[in-house]
Structure 1
Amino acid sequence: MYFSLISAALVLVSGDFVSAQSATASGAVGASSTSPYLPQTSPAYLSNITKPSGVVDSYNFGPYNTSATLSHEPLNLKNYPKPWGKPDPKHPEVQAAMKTINWDKVPKAPTRKGKSNGDLITDNYDEDKDPYCWWSDTNCVKPKVSYLPEDIYMCPNVGDWGLTYDDGPFNPNHEKGPLNDDKWAEPQLYNWLAEHGNQKATLFYIGSNVVTFPEAAKRGLNHGHYLCSHTWSHPQMTTMSNEEAVAEFYWTLKAIKEATGVTVKCWRPPYGDVDDRIRSIAWQMGMRTVLWNLDTNDWDMPGDGGGDLAPSKVDGYFQGWIDKQKAGKYKTGHILLEHELNNSTVSMTEKWLPKLQQVFNVVPALACQNITHPYWEEQFVYPTEAHNTTKSHNSNSSQSQVSASGAASSVHAASIQPSAQASAQPSSQASENVDAGKNNNNAAAQGSDVKNLDSDSSDAGSLVMPTMLTLGAAAFASMAIVN
């Protein structure tokens, strides 16, 4: 175990995930044109993908289609690697993506190795200097490379609860017996969220699950959730070579684009395993890294692809977080790690989300950061923290609420890049990392077995973050019913 105090200063930009900004010498993204760093841009190698039918053209405020069944017709699997297999890094499409990356700017961090139980070997890593901001060893979230933005891992405003689900879209397994989770597969969770406060979340999709169940990915987009990447096959990414990392990213970006028509700007590393080498590759492929500061460990409960963690233990986590919020012990908001993995994880969120909604402002993890453009397709403009139609309403809210049935306004310019003009207060975080080395071969990946990082706990430093920028607004229109 290793404890590391990390100086952090998360700031937001007054520009939109900006496709043509460059880094200043200080590491913030601004208007400087003197930096040699190749700016983050929309992946040109996805531009020839035809938009699918049955998806919205912009953010959908509803009404929503909550039919109980979806087509299980996959994408053309001949155009993709084997689902849940290791993609071939020499594939021509992967090599084309490789050529778009400025490899001079990718840190020369070593490819990590794992133990027989799946844990990463950290013995020879310099934890004090942490030269590559390796989250799996030190929980570092502020890259040492100046042009990379800080990871998104929490909500700045006290009382905000950033809702996320990993490993989707949850595919039916079509199996008989006790592990048959078909009734819990999508669209169960997305429909349930729509019917319980029109709740939105940030969804981290595994490419292999998207190609085998694209209609579920469409449902996620059409219901107004934020879509992000979670790699093709859920590996520990620092164990991947550069080519292998590009392959994991590329096929997932392509699958989401072909299934939904959007090119995502965000990703979450499986098990949280990321360093500056992997961050740089992801950034140059158009994506910012998103982590968390509270972990349910729900993936480890008994169920298809799960473990043996007692559900009562997870119940205790939720109750403890609610009790601390009621007692006013938190100094920031949170981003929570949950999964749409099996009956256990879905039923657990259905049990606790209504209770959380009574105490926290439950919002998508990116909404609490005022990120309005999660995709490279500019017409998708999402609600923000300050003007969010999807937030749960409770007496502890620190933000004004907007009626979901009325016309909504949103910041058009929020981004996942930091701003040279934005000011931030320093923050620190100390956390204990327990590597999770349990891979899944049953088309549903587990999450990271990481200690819950309460911002006020005895082993976690206070996280002090800046107030959100005041930005302009743009109007939205409602959409027709779609899947």
Structure 2
Amino acid sequence: MRNFPPNAFLIPPIRKFVYHSIYTLTLLLGLNALLDTGKTSAQLIARETSSNSGCKPYYYGPVNTQLSSFPTIWEPASILHGDSNAESKWDSIKANVPKIPPKGTPNGDFSGLNYSDADDDCWWTYSKCVHPRLEGLPSDVADIPEPHTLAYSFDDGPNCSHNAFYDYLVAQGQKATMFYVGSNVMDWPLEAQRAVTDGHEICVHTWSHRYMSIFFLSRRLSATDQLASISAMQAIKLVTDITPTCWRPPFGDVDDRVRAIANGLGLRTVLWKYDSNDWRVDDGDISRSAVDANYERLLNESANGSFDTVGAILLAHELNNFTMSEAVKYYERLRSTFKNLVPIQVALNNTHPYVEDRPSLGDFHDYTTGGSASMPSDPGTGSDSGESKSPYSPSGVLGPGSEPQSQMPSSSRARRIGGVVVGGIGWWAMAIGILNAVV
């Protein structure tokens, strides 16, 4: 509008014509933006093989219309004012939450902390403790009972550029456990739906991927903040229509206070035995060859009989092109070295991985022998198809020259206004609303 003279100098009929012309153009551009993305279902999302088109912002009504019911995306979560359900849930569990003080700083610096060697809090960051001191809490899942078995898991999704990786898993007939960040689910809802369509297990990885036992800025992370952070399960429910019963704390940062809150929410704490440390390359902490060495160590220990009596959980990441490419690079060797590669809930023989009565992958025997376990339907359409929606395409984002940016901690390429994600036609609809107000 900078090229037009002030409204006071426009003859009213001309002004009306100008605004209505802009209105029409804006609407057409908005529709074009929607058509360009073509993102209306998990099936269409699965056809994207370019990181540029795959990571294009889009409008998804069920999320955009519910944004006010959730914490600000990628910000530390708190129970929203007036959220009676969350307040009621906190009231029902707070008596069982121990009064353990928060620890450390927002970036995970615990250097100034005076913490007892007795580790009374069973703080994993300090001692790798997985057996809570607090009575009544279940032990963390850190390994699996099935020998010669690797539980296959990926943190930090959904990633807007994950199609080539997911296509590869489909081509191999491989399911995994995906630990999803609530903010990523809100940013990329159809990508989250694809995981369910493909038959992967879904678990919670908090709302905004923060250390869970820390101080936030000048205030302590309260227990209710921790509850809100963990309960990204509501975002997953909104988008996929399933409510997970498992979660993994970012960086493994968990103590008995955090465990008690998670347990009160019906979430089992899942950690790992082997960390690929693939995420640290993006931070510049280690080299790519160091990640290769971590995978090689796991393969060597498997070949040397370390898993003859008990299996292991691998931690990898759906974070960027490198982490997903690394998973593909080592997949065949992992599959040939381990007798079984399975999702975590399958390894635990948990045939009810969600609050809802939904189809599962079956127990360990069903999964490893090709038993009769049923697959979930597409959460976006409600249809149930037994065939793959996404054949492997080697020209996808795992190809050379394609390095989508990490999505942590600020992943959305959608435009933001006051914390609200607006993509595709949603952006243009907002512009239309402003023009309507002016006219």
Question: TM-score scaled to structure 2, two decimals?
Answer: 0.68
Per the TM alignment, residue 363 of structure 1 is displaced from its structure 2 partner at its CA by 0.6
Amino acid at match of 1:363: V
Cα deviation, 1:82-112, whole Å, max 9, x if unaligned, reads: 2111224343227435444321211111111
Q: Does 1:309 align with 2:277?
A: no
Matched residue, 1:30 = none
Deviations 1:189-218 (A, max 9, x none): 22221112x111111100000001110111
Change (3 A) 1:158 1:407: closer
Deviation, 1:273, is 0.5
The alignment of Structure 1 onto Structure 2 pairs a total of residues equal to 323
Alignment partner of 1:249 out of 223, 230, 241: 230
CA distance in 2, matches of 1:233, 1:72: 21
Q: Structure 1 residues 105 and 122 mapped into 2: Cα distance closer, same or farther (>3 Å)?
A: farther
The 3-state SS of whatever aligns with 2:193 is helix
Match of 1:68 in 2: 48
- In structure 1, the partner of 2:410 is 442
Matches within 5 A, 1:30-429: 66-68=46-48, 72-74=58-60, 75-76=63-64, 77-93=67-83, 95-114=86-105, 118-121=108-111, 123-128=113-118, 130-171=119-160, 185-196=161-172, 198-239=173-214, 240-250=221-231, 252-302=232-282, 306-330=283-307, 331-360=309-338, 361-388=340-367, 401-403=368-370, 407-408=372-373
**Amino acid aligned to 1:135:** W
Larger Rg: 2
- 3-state secondary structure, aligned to 1:362: strand
Change (3 A) 1:65 1:236: closer
The structure-2 alpha-carbon separation of the partners of 1:122 and 1:261, relative to structure 1 and needing over 3 Å to count, comes to: farther
* Partner SS state of residue 73, structure 1: coil
Equivalent position SS for 1:199: coil
Contact 2:203 2:247 in 1 (8 A): yes
The DSSP-based 3-state class of the residue aligned with 1:217 is helix
Alignment match, 1:43? none
Judged with a 3 Å threshold, the aligned counterparts in structure 2 of structure 1 residues 378 and 158 are, in CA distance, closer, same or farther, namely: same
Question: In structure 2, how many angstroms separate the alpha carbons of the residues matched to 1:188 and 1:146?
Answer: 45
Deviation at 1:73, TM superposition (A): 3.1
Higher helix share: 2
* Structure 1 letter corresponding to 2:171: E
Give the match's secondary structure for 1:151: coil
Measured after TM superposition, the shift of residue 312 of structure 1 is 1.1
**Equivalent residue letter for 1:73:** Y
Whole-Å Cα distance in 2 between the matches of residues 122 and 140 of structure 1?
21
Q: Please list the CA deviations of residues 292-340 of structure 1 after superposition, one character each: whole Å capped at 9, or x if unmatched.
A: 01101000114xxx32421111111212221222222334211011100
Partners of 1:80 and 1:90 lie apart in 2 by 7
> Post-superposition shift, 1:114?
2.0
Secondary structure of the structure 2 residue equivalent to 1:382: coil
Structure 1 residues 87 and 409, CA gap change in structure 2 (3 angstroms): closer
**CA offsets 1:249-268 (integer angstroms, 9 cap, x no match):** 23x11110010000110100
CA contact (8 A) 2:148 2:310 kept: yes
Q: Taking structure 1 as reference, are residues 68 and 195 closer, same or farther at Cα in structure 2, changes over 3 Å only? A: farther
Distance 1:407 1:102, change over 3 A: closer
- Pick which of 328-337 and 253-262 moved more: 328-337
Superposed CA RMSD:
2.6
What pairs up with 1:443-462 in 2 under 5 angstroms?
443=411
Structure 2 gap ranges (5+): 1-39, 215-220, 376-406, 413-439
The 1:205–1:170 alpha-carbon spacing in structure 2 relative to 1, beyond 3 Å, is same
Shift of 1:66: 4.8
Contact 2:236 2:243 in 1 (8 A): yes
Percent identity of the aligned residues? 36
Q: 1:106 to 1:121 in 2, by over 3 A?
A: farther
